[in-house]
Amino acid sequence: MTMDFALRGKCAWVVGASGAIGGSVSMTLAQLGVSVWLSGRNEGKLQALQETLLKAGHAAKVVPLKEAADFPRAVAAMVAAQQTPDLLVNSTASPRFDSFDRLSDEHWDEVFEAKLLTYVRSMRAALPVMAGRGGAIINISGRGGRQPSATHLAGGSMNAAVNLLTKGISEAYREQGVRANVVSPGPISSPRMGTLEASTVPTTEPSVLARPGQTQDVANAVAFLASPLAAHINGVILGVDGGGISAI
């Protein structure tokens, strides 16, 4: 039996689509009949992803985000194309792994800008047009937001802030029909994780399950939370980490 996610005809804005997880989310949503608008830091990867989606017969457009003013411009472009976003997925990565004593103010600013402030800007731009129409926000956080790691304190702090921010948004906008949830992955197999594991900074531990997490695992969770199947789920942190957090 094939499960119907009832997302066909919806419009999604995926921020961080140039990353491995964001790209997988974009592909999965497109395969479910969603028109996807792709944003991220690497415009070349965005263009390549768009080309792949278009060749497969899916609807996809690129809206680069290079400065703060680009966020409201992106939403304005969707509205002008009569594709007001029903779904917003934020999936940017924290760019800094290092020990606490090696993190400068500039490093903290970099992580803040790449993660938390990006999520704030995208939601601030999208919520005015989503409120009252209904829709879903899914923010990709990370296990480090709930379980500290000595080499991921900057990124983990931002993930913890994303968790709190999303919970607050879920309460602030629930009466206007907007649900907001977090997907919190553990270590996920990707080119980025391979680079980190090859570095001298330990960042991960063995997977709890028999296999490491895959980007598709995260994309499946996002699709579920975006769909009417999760219509009564709001303000949760859904761990996709193979049971890596033992606390209740």
- Give the number of other Cβ atoms within 10 Å of residue 130's Cβ: 24
**pLDDT above 90 (res 117):** yes
Which percentage of the chain shows pLDDT scores above 90? Answer: 78
- 81: DSSP letter: T
Q: Give pLDDT, residue 190.
A: 67
**pLDDT above 70 (res 108):** yes
Task: Decide if 242 contacts 22 (C-beta within 8 A).
Answer: no
Residue 155, CA atoms < 13 Å, CB-side half-sphere: 20
Q: Give pLDDT, residue 74.
A: 97
Between CA 41 and CA 49, with CA 46 as vertex, the angle to 5 degrees is 150
Chain centroid to CA 246: 24
Partners of 213 in the β-ladder: 188
Domains of the chain with bracketed CATH: 11-240 (3.40.50.720)
Query: Given pLDDT bands bounded at 50, 70 and 90, which one contains residue 175?
Result: very high
Query: Given pLDDT bands bounded at 50, 70 and 90, which one contains residue 97?
Result: confident
The identity of residue 152, as a single letter, is H
**pLDDT above 80 (res 211):** no
**pLDDT above 50 (res 198):** no
Q: Give pLDDT, residue 172.
A: 98
Query: Given pLDDT bands bounded at 50, 70 and 90, which one contains residue 226?
Result: very high
- 213: DSSP letter: B
Task: Decide if 150 contacts 135 (C-beta within 8 A).
Answer: no
Question: What is the arithmetic mean of pLDDT over 81-106?
Answer: 92
Between CA 138 and CA 114, with CA 100 as vertex, the angle to 5 degrees is 30
Q: Give pLDDT, residue 209.
A: 62
Distance in angstroms (rounded) separating the CA atoms of residues 141 and 182: 6
Q: Give pLDDT, residue 207.
A: 52
Q: Give pLDDT, residue 137.
A: 98
Q: Give pLDDT, residue 1.
A: 45
Q: List the one residue out of 94, 76, 14, 7 whose CA is nearest residue 49.
A: 14
Residue 248's contacts (CB-CB under 8 Å, 6 or more residues apart) are none
- 241: DSSP letter: S
Question: What is the arithmetic mean of pLDDT over 190-210?
Answer: 51
Chain centroid to CA 195: 20
Q: Give pLDDT, residue 203.
A: 46
Q: Give pLDDT, residue 191.
A: 62
Question: What is the arithmetic mean of pLDDT over 178-187?
Answer: 96
- Give the number of other Cβ atoms within 10 Å of residue 202's Cβ: 12
Q: Which of 27-41, 69-83, 129-143, 181-195 has the lowest mean pLDDT?
A: 181-195
Q: And the tokens for 76?
A: 């304005």
Between CA 231 and CA 230, with CA 1 as vertex, the angle to 5 degrees is 10
Q: Give pLDDT, residue 95.
A: 73
Q: Give pLDDT, residue 160.
A: 95
Q: Give pLDDT, residue 210.
A: 63
Query: Given pLDDT bands bounded at 50, 70 and 90, which one contains residue 3?
Result: confident
Q: Give pLDDT, residue 195.
A: 47
